[in-house]
Amino acid sequence: MLNGFKDFILRGNVISMAIGLAVGTAFTSVVTGFSKAFITPLIGLATGSVGNFNDATFSVGKTVFPYGLAISASIAFVITAAVLYFLIVVPMTGIQHKFAKAAAADPKSEKRDCPHCYSEIPTIASRCAHCTSEVEPVATFPEKVEVPAPR
């Protein structure tokens, strides 16, 4: 039982996930510090207020609602998402498209009708799979077809 647990813990994907979580936590604290140090004061300048929303509250009866914490968390989330998208996702997508290999097309994907039984057969077929009649191949299939990578 302990050997199975040891194998699970020492798998590469579990260790990679743990490292990713640690880096993500550190990245979150950096983005939160950046938003508190720069973005929140800039919002304060733009709105003419202090810019620190953490202390913003409203009361209903004796209950206090600290809505400023939600605003600050939302700002930190938007900044984190924007930084991740523009600094990681967009460059990585570009790199993947740049180094993407051409996908080989399936030779059976192009279809035509058999001239004898009118069933659907591949274009490169020399014999019908349904009526077993010999048919002339319409086209030869190239070794490698350049297919653009999906965007």
Helices (H), the chain: 2-9, 12-34, 40-47, 67-84, 90-99
Q: Which residues pair with 64 in a beta bridge?
A: 59
DSSP state of 60: E
> pTM for this structure?
0.47
> What string of DSSP letters covers 110-127?
SEEE-TTT--EEETT-SB
In angstroms, rounded to a whole number, what is the distance separating the alpha carbons of residues 142 and 17? 42
pLDDT (tens digit, 0 to 9) for every residue of the chain, 151 residues total? 778 877 776 776 777 788 888 888 888 888 778 877 887 777 777 766 666 677 778 889 999 888 888 887 787 788 778 877 888 889 988 888 888 776 666 766 788 899 989 899 888 888 998 898 898 887 665 555 455 555 5
